[in-house]
């Protein structure tokens, strides 16, 4: 395994982070335990979860993933050996079963306390805001279209003051954002600098061969401000394994169970995936490992969040840490990207 530190900290994390959003839905608790055991044994010391998980989010299974992780900590006594990240759910109809008061002081305090109980721990290493409260282009929306009727009011300072209180209490160590855009990221950093408030040290956004929009304004912010990307969906919901275009996806594959998650299933995405598969085959590697290695070696990347529904997938994904793509592979990837840029925004 390869390691780095979370920006602006001395917290050592593996460059591969274990994603958990399938546990409690596509995976049982026992399977979640097996994945944590394997990842931990292979040097992965960074786990990412959220109160929202498992996905798709439902009231019936709300926060079951955190409970599974808490039970594993209780069983293994490995809490102090794992860097644990979780998130408060953003606002909207999708999360109305969780709470409806956004990132208010009451919401943040309640969310942290409830996560701590489920995770069976007294601290969270990295606490993240799952997505912005304001209306902006997240989750596959390509361009920003301003809504003058958006009722959101600027509350960056208020949020950071609340997080500062929670941090001072010892319940969280560091804070980060997720699914955030350039303007929101810089507003958080501006408030932190101006008022000596906790600094957002990571940003968890989608990044993969099919979605490289982070390489625009966000990559410059990440590098110049030292706010590290935690890349999610590096496999594009499993599309970049090649299993869908090969017709070998298992019955419990994500897009078979939940076809409404079509972000990475456009005609352009399918064509790009076919071309990337050919590159991988020409260089004697699997598409999955090429896709993951590409993400891991980006200069703005802090950790690559992998997820799997089987132990075999997890082994292959973790082993991608041992692959470094050479110039021939990278040039071939750029050729495809130039012809089919960001087919999945």
Distance CA 342, CA 289 (A): 19
CATH code, domain with 125: 3.20.20.100
Query: Exposed (0-12), middle (13-18) or buried (19+): which is 305, by Cβ within 10 Å?
Result: buried
Residue 261 in this model has a pLDDT that exceeds 80:
no
298 domain residue, yes or no: yes
180: Cβ contacts below 8 Å, ≥ 6 apart: 129, 131, 132, 188, 203, 205
Residue identified by tokens 């970049």 is: 240
pLDDT of residue 249: 58
Distance CA 137, CA 180 (A): 9
Catalytic residue check, 53: yes
Contact 229, 214 (CB under 8 A): yes
pLDDT of residue 264: 82
* Chain segment 111-141, per-residue pLDDT in tens: 999 999 999 999 999 999 999 999 999 988 9
Degrees to nearest 5, angle at CA 36 with 31 and 39: 120
pLDDT of residue 266: 85
- The DSSP 8-state label assigned to residue 143 in this structure reads S
pLDDT band of residue 67 (cuts 50, 70, 90) is very high
Domains in the chain: how many in total? 1
pLDDT of residue 243: 77
Least confident of 67-71, 210-214, 236-240: 236-240
Collapse the DSSP code of 22 into the 3-class scheme (helix H, G, I; strand E, B; otherwise coil) and give the result. coil
276 domain residue, yes or no: no
pLDDT of residue 166: 98
pLDDT of residue 202: 98
* Chain segment 28-47, per-residue pLDDT in tens: 999 999 999 999 999 999 99
Distance CA 217, CA 80 (A): 36
102 domain residue, yes or no: yes
pLDDT band of residue 260 (cuts 50, 70, 90) is low
Distance CA 109, CA 88 (A): 10
Q: Residue 87: beta bridge partners? A: 128
Which phi and psi (to 5°) does residue 124 adopt?
Answer: -120, 130
31 domain residue, yes or no: yes
Residue 155 in this model has a pLDDT that exceeds 70:
yes
pLDDT of residue 253: 58
Mean pLDDT for the stretch of residues 168-182: 98
Least confident of 185-199, 229-243, 288-302: 229-243
Q: Residue 206: beta bridge partners? A: 232
* Chain segment 68-101, per-residue pLDDT in tens: 999 999 999 999 999 999 999 999 999 999 999 9
93 domain residue, yes or no: yes
Domain carrying residue 94: 3-238+291-325
208: Cβ contacts below 8 Å, ≥ 6 apart: 231, 233, 234, 235, 236, 240, 264, 291, 295, 344
47 domain residue, yes or no: yes
pLDDT of residue 244: 78
**62 token code pair:** 């709300």
pLDDT of residue 258: 57
233 domain residue, yes or no: yes
Q: 3, 53, 123, 144: which one is catalytic?
A: 53
pLDDT of residue 252: 60
- The DSSP 8-state label assigned to residue 27 in this structure reads B
Task: Look up the pTM and report it.
Answer: 0.95
**Whole-number average pLDDT of the chain:** 95
Distance CA 91, CA 103 (A): 8
pLDDT of residue 256: 53
119 domain residue, yes or no: yes
């Amino acid at each position: 395994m390869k390691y780095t530190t979370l920006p602006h900290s001395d917290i050592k994390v593996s460059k591969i982070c274990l994603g958990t959003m399938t546990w409690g839905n596509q995976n049982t608790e026992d399977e979640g335990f097996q994945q944590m055991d394997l990842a931990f044994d292979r040097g992965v010391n960074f786990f990412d979860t959220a109160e929202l998980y498992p996905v798709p989010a439902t009231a019936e299974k709300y926060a079951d993933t955190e409970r599974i992780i808490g039970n594993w900590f209780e069983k293994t006594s490995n809490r102090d050996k794992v860097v644990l990240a979780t998130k408060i759910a953003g606002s909207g109809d999708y999360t109305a079963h969780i709470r409806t008061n956004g990132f208010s002081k009451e919401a943040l305090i309640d969310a942290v306390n409830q996560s701590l109980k489920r995770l069976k721990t007294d601290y969270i290493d990295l606490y993240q805001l799952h997505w912005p409260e304001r209306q902006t282009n997240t989750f596959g929306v390509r361009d920003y279209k301003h809504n003058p009727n958006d009722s959101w009011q600027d509350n960056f300072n208020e949020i950071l003051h609340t997080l500062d209180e929670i941090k001072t209490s010892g319940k969280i160590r560091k804070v980060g954002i997720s699914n955030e855009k350039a303007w929101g990221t810089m507003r958080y950093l501006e408030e932190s600098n101006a008022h000596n408030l906790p600094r957002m040290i990571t940003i968890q956004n989608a990044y993969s061969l099919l979605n490289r929009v982070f390489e625009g304004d966000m990559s410059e912010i990440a590098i110049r401000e030292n706010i590290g990307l935690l890349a999610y969906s590096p496999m594009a919901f499993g599309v970049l394994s090649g299993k869908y275009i090969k017709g070998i996806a298992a019955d419990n594959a994500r897009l078979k169970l939940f076809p409404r998650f079509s972000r990475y299933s456009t005609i352009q995405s399918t064509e790009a995936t076919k071309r990337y598969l050919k590159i991988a085959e020409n260089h004697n590697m699997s598409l999955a490992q090429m896709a993951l290695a590409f993400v891991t070696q980006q200069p703005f990347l802090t950790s690559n969040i992998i997820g799997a529904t089987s132990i075999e997938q997890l082994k292959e994904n973790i082993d991608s840490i041992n692959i470094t793509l050479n110039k021939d592979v990278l040039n071939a990837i750029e050729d495809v990207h130039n012809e089919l840029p960001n087919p999945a925004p």
